[in-house]
Chains A and B, each alone.
Chain A
Amino acid sequence: MEKYQKLTGIAAPMPLINIDTDMIIPKVFLKTIKRSGLGVNLFAEMRYNDDGSEKDDFVLNQPAYRDAEIIVAGDNFGCGSSREHAPWAIKDFGVRCVVSTGFADIFFSNCFKNGILPIVLPKEQVDLLMKDAEKGANARMTVDLEAQEITTSDGEVIAFDVDAFKKHCLLEGLDDISLTLAKADAIQSFEQQAQQSRPWV
């Protein structure tokens, strides 16, 4: 995975609450056996008409937000299905950071595996960032993972929390499987002990 760099970009406001992974990537696009190329299908049912033309009122179709790299979202973003196609589509579109008051557990975890930083902030701060995002393309936010800070287009700085291990993996672009395989001895010794204590498993 690529190392997560400091990001300065356009933020798209999506205040709707409970945006689920069926909205993020509808099931018709889950038939792929690849990880790539899903960006064009991101939010497909909200973004396109039945004939494939764009819906003008959808935020990512508006000129100001076509190149958004950040999404500021309503509560409980990413709820529903575990489909990793959701973060794959978000990443493929070009978004590398999503800010909300909360994320569904599986989606949250999936983001980190794909170089996307999900940031949880209190409602007042998400509201403030939503307002900033609504200013359009000239208003660019900066997300600095290293410093754990978001800087609004007005220069206001908002600090955020992130799990130290997950932060380390994002910044260094680390692959989880290699990290875990380095602990093969611990896994083997657990298996030997489990074979004794729970042989029926």
Chain B
Amino acid sequence: MSPTTLYDKIWDAHVADQTEDGTCLLYIDRHLVHEVTSPQAFEGLRMAGRKVHAPDKTIAVPDHNVPTTPDRVNGIENEEGRIQVAALDKNARDFGVHYYPMNDVRQGIVHIVGPEQGWTLPGMTVVCGDSHTATHGAFGALAHGIGTSEVEHVLATQTLIQKKSKNMKVEITGKLQPGVTAKDITLAVIGETGTAGGTGYVIEYCGEAIRDLSMEGRMTVCNMAIEGGARAGLIAPDQTTYDYVMGRPHAPKGAQWDAALTWWKTLFTDENAVFDKVVTLRGEDIAPVVTWGTSPEDVLPITATVPFATDFEGGKVDAAARSLAYMGLESGTKLTDIKIDTVFIGSCTNGRIEDLRAVAGVVKGKKIKEGMRALIVPGSGLVRAQAEEEGLAEIFLDAGFEWRMAGCSMCLAMNPDQLEAGERCAATSNRNFEGRQGRGGRTHLVSPVMAAAAALTGHLTDIRDFL
């Protein structure tokens, strides 16, 4: 047999039907559902008199709209948001799918809840009506975002109509320098490939620097595969993965664990397997990075200066000029001279316990800059509880941060956590698009430690100054 990639293996294990032109029915092992992209899909089922094909493989949780202030136990004030969450409550109940309602301690961002509860396992196919489903690829699961029509399709049939993507390898060799994190890896890769560099591909991340990452870090890397245009990002499972999964509520137990582990250990790319595209970065060359523009590819080391539009070529010249105007930045300014009004720490990219520990390590015993608005929004109720147990919450509150309930929050600002026009934010989230965090809001994407440093100094800051 010819050597195959990790992606090939997972794909082949899930093809339920294939026609001559290569169009496949891909079987879906886990379907994650949230309140924003699902109401029309459930409505479609009702209109057609259809049921959910596999409710035991379907997991729903409200995350995008939910307020993150403690008073949310009294309900959601915004009417449209409240209706959308109520619709998910009802749909989950009517169709009998697994559900974590807003006030359940296990509630959180769907991509944090899935792994945390052991729903996400190596070798699975995982989909969700959300582009950051790529996160689950950290487990060696083929995971990607889908639209609402496809959500309905999966609900009704537990399959997707798909054609296979091409294979792309992103290798990060060697070791990371102090102050450099998984977030810097994933941003540096997008800076290298561009936001369309992965279009048509599934990326497998590999190399020593990836192997050295915790599961939390691997999730951060895979989370932003979509920002590079890829359908999915994958990391082959290893002992780090098995250790994370073991004992989770929905992970296999006993003899089933042994059987699963035996299969999981076959999930790697064979030697000499062919990739259609290869990108290699040296871990040592990656610096703490920050985005300056309105595309996640607008990545520069924190030591750099704001570029000129004329530094670019083709359509990027106009796009860069537009970005610079939107961001209110003058070319040639040192990135570390850019003042920050707000710091947002959270999201499916960086809302896990390890991220919060890293932030606590930077801000412990210090105070945030006077006048700074600084939010820490844990990715799930369980992350919040753990952070409180470890004393992290106290460190954050002492430093002047707001300590919030779990949700997507200011990553996409569908709930009340939003930027005002012109407000500038250092964010650990994943998108710096125009208006993403609030109309006219200006976003600089950074790692959790860089966000923490900016909160202390009031401007974009090289975390290495704090080491």
CB distance from A116 to the nearest CB of B (A): 12
Please, how many angstroms separate the alpha-carbon atoms of A15 and B317 in the complex?
12
Of the residues A17, A102, A197, contact of B316 by C-beta under 8 Å: A17
B16 with A190: CB separation less than 8 A:
yes
Find residues 109-126 in chain B having any chain A CB closer than 8 Å to their own CB. Answer: 121, 123-124
A82 with B159: CB separation less than 8 A:
no
Of the residues A15, A27, A164, contact of B412 by C-beta under 8 Å: A27
Chain A residues near B131 (CB-CB < 8 A)? 80-82, 106
Closest to B87 in A: A33
Of the residues A16, A110, A180, A197, contact of B161 by C-beta under 8 Å: A180
User: Using a Cβ cutoff of 8 Å, how many contacts connect chains A and B?
Assistant: 187
- Answer whether residue B25 sits at the interface, using C-beta atoms and an 8 A cutoff: yes
Interface residues on A, range: 35 or more
B27 with A190: CB separation less than 8 A:
yes
- Answer whether residue B158 sits at the interface, using C-beta atoms and an 8 A cutoff: yes
Among B23, B147, B229, B314, residue most surrounded by chain A Cβ atoms (within 10 Å)? B147
Question: Which of B34-42, B207-215, B352-360, B376-384 sits within the interface?
Answer: B34-42
B130 with A82: CB separation less than 8 A:
yes
Find residues 270-306 in chain B having any chain A CB closer than 8 Å to their own CB. Answer: 295, 297
- Answer whether residue B43 sits at the interface, using C-beta atoms and an 8 A cutoff: yes
B315 with A16: CB separation less than 8 A:
yes
Closest to A199 in B: B256
Q: Are A20 and B27 also in contact (CB < 8 A) when A33-B87, A35-B40 are?
A: no
Among B16, B150, B414, residue most surrounded by chain A Cβ atoms (within 10 Å)? B16
A106 with B433: CB separation less than 8 A:
no
Question: Which of A3-11, A132-140, A149-157, A181-189 sits within the interface?
Answer: A181-189
- Write out, one digit per residue, whether chain B residues 118-152 have a CB within 8 A of any chain A CB (1) or not (0): 00010110000111000000000000111111101
- Answer whether residue B366 sits at the interface, using C-beta atoms and an 8 A cutoff: no
The 8 closest A-B CB pairs, nearest first, are: A200-B252, A31-B80, A113-B149, A190-B16, A84-B147, A110-B147, A33-B39, A82-B145
A187 with B16: CB separation less than 8 A:
yes
- Write out, one digit per residue, whether chain A residues 18-57 have a CB within 8 A of any chain B CB (1) or not (0): 1010110011101111110000000001000010000000
Please, how many angstroms separate the alpha-carbon atoms of A179 and B431 in the complex?
36
Of the residues A50, A79, A109, A194, contact of B229 by C-beta under 8 Å: A79
Chain B residues near A27 (CB-CB < 8 A)? 412-414, 436
Chain B residues near A177 (CB-CB < 8 A)? 48, 50, 152-153, 156-157
CB distance from B53 to the nearest CB of A (A): 8
A176 with B195: CB separation less than 8 A:
no
Between A and B, 27 residue pairs with Cβ closer than 8 Å are A18-B295, A18-B297, A20-B431, A22-B435, A23-B433, A27-B412, A27-B436, A30-B64, A31-B80, A76-B196, A76-B199, A83-B147, A105-B229, A106-B131, A106-B147, A109-B150, A114-B149, A165-B21, A180-B156, A183-B17, A183-B25, A187-B25, A187-B158, A198-B260, A198-B263, A199-B259, A200-B252
Find residues 112-143 in chain A having any chain B CB closer than 8 Å to their own CB. Answer: 113-114
- Answer whether residue B29 sits at the interface, using C-beta atoms and an 8 A cutoff: yes
Chain A residues near B65 (CB-CB < 8 A)? 31
Please, how many angstroms separate the alpha-carbon atoms of A60 and B246 in the complex?
54
Q: Are A82 and B37 also in contact (CB < 8 A) when A177-B48, A200-B256 are?
A: yes
- Answer whether residue B169 sits at the interface, using C-beta atoms and an 8 A cutoff: no
A180 with B121: CB separation less than 8 A:
no
Of the residues A50, A83, A102, contact of B199 by C-beta under 8 Å: A102
